[in-house]
Structure 1
Amino acid sequence: MSKSNNSTIISLTDNGQQLASRLIKLGVATRHKHKPKPFAEQVQSLFSSGERLILICATGIAIRTLAPVLADKYTDPAVLVLDEHGRFVIPLLSGHEGGANEWAREVASVIEAQLVITSAQTYLKPTYIAGMGCERHCPKRVLRQLLEETLHQSNLTVNDLSGIASIDVKHDEVGLIELATELKLPFHTYSANILRTVEDQLTQKSEIVFKEVGCYGVAEAAALVDADNMARDNAIKPELLIPKHKNRQATCAVARIYQS
């Protein structure tokens, strides 16, 4: 997840402080304030300046603190509330217009928390895409084993996939073609230039890969690009669900996009 500009985490307890530090490292927000004083004035000031907020506290505290400075759903910044153990993520304010629902979904995915959306919304279903890279002539069995191991990280199976993607130099890679055929999935490939359009979302960038093929990563980038290409008008921006996994011969990552 790329870091959000103008976003601050507020924590009030020791457990909340630990969770906030973890969220900062994961790129969920850019700043963290622990037990700011005076509490209400600082939180209200940040909110009124347009700062997106993650409040690690009770929802009651959040509501009472922000009530005096609320304007409307079209101008108020997004506010999320998390419990101190990171079990639940609640988009409290500006769910649709301010993007809190999408932000909350990203945060919940990153920390494997339960997303709690209470606002009315169209039911959205996830679409999963596997991005794969490999050495030339990598056997199908090696690719499938890695794919299944990667999917298992999020309790998914090959039956949950909607496609497999890679870089265009792999358009004729027999193992990948056979794997997609076996699973009855489309196999799409993209140029290095197209894959570079999502490089800000990669969890790791490889200079070695860049020198070889012209982009900083194949598996993660291909999954994200292919998921985006499958998006319809009402879809939410694709996210990297499972970062790159690898064995001696191949790499694999999974992207997810929500749409009706």
Structure 2
Amino acid sequence: MRVNIFSYSDKGSNLAVILASLFDDVRCYSTHKSHDDITYVKSSISQVQLEFDNSDLMIFVGATGIAVRSIAPCVKNKTTDPACIVIDECGNFVISLLSGHIGGANDYTHIIADKINAVPVITTATDVNNKFAVDSFAKKNNLAISDMKIAMQISSTILTENVSIEFDDDIIMKNSIGNGLVIDGDNKLGIYVGYKKILPYKTTLNLIPNNLIVGIGCKRGTSSEQIEKLFLAVTKDIDIRAIQSVASIDLKQNEYGLLSFCEKYNLHINFYSAEELNQLEGDFSGSQFVKKITGVDNVCERSAMIYGHKIIKKKTSAAGVTIAIALKQKEVKF
């Protein structure tokens, strides 16, 4: 986590040093030459523009107006902008300024305010009305948001009426649902949490967990196009953002087609030995021919189940490629 702190006075710089002690990867800048541990800059606005896209959290110790003018040219999108916080130089108030939910500014505001005994200032409507905040929920539980416009519609609607929510059977709720939500209601607007490509409501926001493992086996020399063709067929009813990784046997760790396929889809791949795969217990679609070649009776299902909870797509074969998909149980907290 990369943090940048900006201050504008002696008192502000002293507070900046205290704040810096709360983080590991932190850089402090000031327009005032007052502290050896802080880098002097002639223009904080120029430095903010240099650091903005590479920051996770930006803290401004000074007036809110300075912070607003500094970040204004850089602000692009609530899904990518860093968390921005303003703290007065006396440390009385910690204000969440930008990216309160997805960026985490609201959470950081509470944490920092607690550390320096200040008053946290949160202005997002769902928070001040004690309502469920869909973008905060998604970030906290590592869920991909299918459509930010629908997410904004939900945040607006939930202030005055309930919003429906539905979960896959394998999603485990660790606590009660958020204020303003109803389970499986008949509302036209609702949220579906799961890996499937389904739209339970007239207007559905899909929140996609990253909890699927794709096991792949293939003959030597299989092209990435062959793997991709079967992959797209097997996942036609699955949101591929739910895929956490690919798994296969270590005999395939230099298989160009397999590696190229994973690179195209930006999927991490793990390889396992035949010994590791054979240790798994379960009902697998075994093949003695495959066992003679690889030392294991089923590569794709066993690979997927190394860290999987259950198989949701059993072995499918085509053109020298086999694919299976396993699901890891997912817990969510409100």
User: TM-score scaled to structure 1, two decimals?
Assistant: 0.45
Bigger relative contact order (CA 8 A; separation at least 6): 1
Structure whose residues are more often helix by fraction: 1
Q: TM-score, normalised by structure 2?
A: 0.36
